Structure 1
């Protein structure tokens, strides 16, 4: 059984087939939104950050939204393996025995954040010798910015309906905010139709930025007026950059490594409901997309990728959900081992597929 599927954009594919893939080739690493889905590749991320990329010496830009922002913060810790272990543990051990409320979800979210951004973590993330951390939020406008849940629901329903007219239809209700390492080279910036703001990260706004990046409308509180950012309500960056597309926000040399739970990249959160809308290949030209194979996912006890909706599917049976999620997380360590073996052997060129 093949454990991994590796796909690459045109330029990345040519590079791998002629020169292979080494840590020195990587200019950026992207992290997708997806909540519990991340557990399916936790072990892959752990191997990449704690073992493979330790041999990189060039600056590498990291950019993620929602859980992608959380995991990349963990990757910037001195002991990235421990940080990612603790993030996976905190995510799986969430519990909502008396139902869901924004206040309770906020408490659990702060526990997740504590696992990767404690007092020591602030300095480690902002001063990592190689990684330049970035995360994205959406600066909400109109009804989407309101605290009223009913107004947010209306805004989301309208945004869903209008999304059929094209990805750029939401420019009046969403702006992109990229919170960036002060040392970053500026290659991460908005490059599509959306207004984008760049805000320098510091010890006083890092936690708020990551919290905002994962603040799902309707079910979670937004984060208002983050220090240094444009005034307003910050919500989940995945609304706009669900699986952040490098061509929309990045323009640089080198390759973009993209550990992903899917073998496809879906641009915005609303786009996932429009199956015919595909990310243009040109926007993935330098991307190396690494994901679990379908056969591997089928071999897990859950039989698929973990999903946030499992909280509802298995509500009242936390032990079952946790057992299944722990199995997915532990099995994902096999993905990390498989990647390291491929990278060491130089055989990636023989299995890589075109995007």
Structure 2
């Protein structure tokens, strides 16, 4: 069984055909939203950024939602241990009944605290060769976010997005919080509002980018950004489809799907699947054979919180992570194949 598919854009395929999979080809790592869908990729995350790419090689990381948390862990001064703590804290979330927004926020704060540990928030922004970038979405006019108002606004979001992706800007603002790099500027597509990541706003930004409407309250008035309520970065940028990805060096992208969608509200809109911006992207995706061997023969998702009790879900998610080691082995084999490695077309 080949556990891993490697898909790449045109320029990336040309580079790999000439040089094989070499760390020096890459200067960026991106990680998408998707709740627990990242868990089978966890071991691959760690291998790529703590073993394959040398620590002294500069890399900029960009993520939304749980992808942002993955990137934060990989920017930790001890990234292997931080990412392991993130994995375990994420898996071991427990809810005895349908949770309140505050309970979800408290759990998310516990996950972030586990990731950061004794190093402190400032340490994640001080690594000389790892630069963190996070996207959060400012929900326009939603300082009062009662459930009826949220439902009405989300319905309107779906409608305007169906007409035109640019219509999202009537209701949402994309904010890019950066620790100082420039590899993702300008993102392109939707208007991007820049803000500096600092020790004073990192925790709030990590909470905001993982705050799902109707489940989490979001974060009010993040330091250094426009006053308002900030929510999940995946609303505008679910799978990270940006024109800027076509510039500069190649982009490492471990992903749970063999395709890329722009925003969360594009999930059912197959005609929105990306291609034009992916020339430099190398997508690392679990193969159908690998997925068939996972618990329930599928990638885990947020529905598991309803499908299973806590103990069964935790056991299933731990197994997904353990089986993810096969993706590392498959990637190592692809590297060893050099210029002969099999690459599928992405764009």
TM over 0.5: yes
| Whole-angstrom distance in 1 between the partners of 2:119 and 2:96 | 32
1:49-88 equivalences in 2 (<5 Å): 49-53=49-53, 55=54, 57-88=56-87
Given the superposition, is the C-alpha separation of residues 334 and 196 from structure 1 closer, same or farther in structure 2, using an over 3 Å criterion? same
| Whole-angstrom distance in 1 between the partners of 2:320 and 2:170 | 39
Q: 1:335 aligns with which of 314, 321, 327?
A: 327
> 2:347 matched to 1:353?
no
How far apart are residue 213 of structure 1 and its match? 0.7
How far apart are residue 187 of structure 1 and its match? 3.8
Q: 1:277 aligns with which of 272, 286, 291?
A: 272
How far apart are residue 181 of structure 1 and its match? 1.1
The corresponding residue for 2:255 is 260
1:90-105 equivalences in 2 (<5 Å): 90-105=89-104
The corresponding residue for 1:323 is 315
* TM-score computed with the length of structure 1 as normaliser: 0.93
Contact persistence 1:342–1:348 (CA under 8 A): no
**Cα RMSD, aligned residues only:** 1.6
Q: 2:150 aligns with which of 149, 152, 157?
A: 152
How far apart are residue 122 of structure 1 and its match? 1.8
| Whole-angstrom distance in 1 between the partners of 2:131 and 2:209 | 17
> 2:298 matched to 1:304?
yes
The corresponding residue for 1:7 is 7
Local SS of the residue matching 1:340? helix
| Whole-angstrom distance in 1 between the partners of 2:205 and 2:340 | 38
| Whole-angstrom distance in 1 between the partners of 2:268 and 2:183 | 32
| Whole-angstrom distance in 2 between the partners of 1:7 and 1:339 | 12
| Whole-angstrom distance in 2 between the partners of 1:74 and 1:295 | 29
Local SS of the residue matching 2:276? helix
Cα displacement string for residues 281-331 of structure 1 (whole angstroms, at most 9, x for unaligned residues): 2211100000110110101223110001110122xx221111111110111
Aligned length: 346
Contact persistence 2:246–2:280 (CA under 8 A): no
| Whole-angstrom distance in 2 between the partners of 1:289 and 1:121 | 32
The corresponding residue for 2:134 is 135
| Whole-angstrom distance in 2 between the partners of 1:252 and 1:263 | 21
| Whole-angstrom distance in 1 between the partners of 2:82 and 2:230 | 25
Local SS of the residue matching 1:276? helix
How far apart are residue 114 of structure 1 and its match? 0.9
How far apart are residue 186 of structure 1 and its match? 5.3
| Whole-angstrom distance in 2 between the partners of 1:118 and 1:205 | 17
Local SS of the residue matching 1:216? coil
Given the superposition, is the C-alpha separation of residues 187 and 88 from structure 1 closer, same or farther in structure 2, using an over 3 Å criterion? closer
How far apart are residue 63 of structure 1 and its match? 0.5
Moved segments of 4+, more than 3 Å: 249-252, 346-349
Q: 2:231 aligns with which of 227, 232, 235?
A: 235
Local SS of the residue matching 2:277? helix
Contact persistence 2:31–2:253 (CA under 8 A): yes
How far apart are residue 233 of structure 1 and its match? 1.1
Cα displacement string for residues 157-216 of structure 1 (whole angstroms, at most 9, x for unaligned residues): 12112322122221111111111012x135433311x22111111111111111111111
Contact persistence 2:16–2:339 (CA under 8 A): yes
Contact persistence 2:245–2:280 (CA under 8 A): no
**Structure 1: gaps spanning 5 or more residues:** none
| Whole-angstrom distance in 2 between the partners of 1:90 and 1:263 | 27
The corresponding residue for 1:191 is 188
| Whole-angstrom distance in 1 between the partners of 2:183 and 2:29 | 15
**Structure 2: gaps spanning 5 or more residues:** none
Contact persistence 1:163–1:170 (CA under 8 A): yes
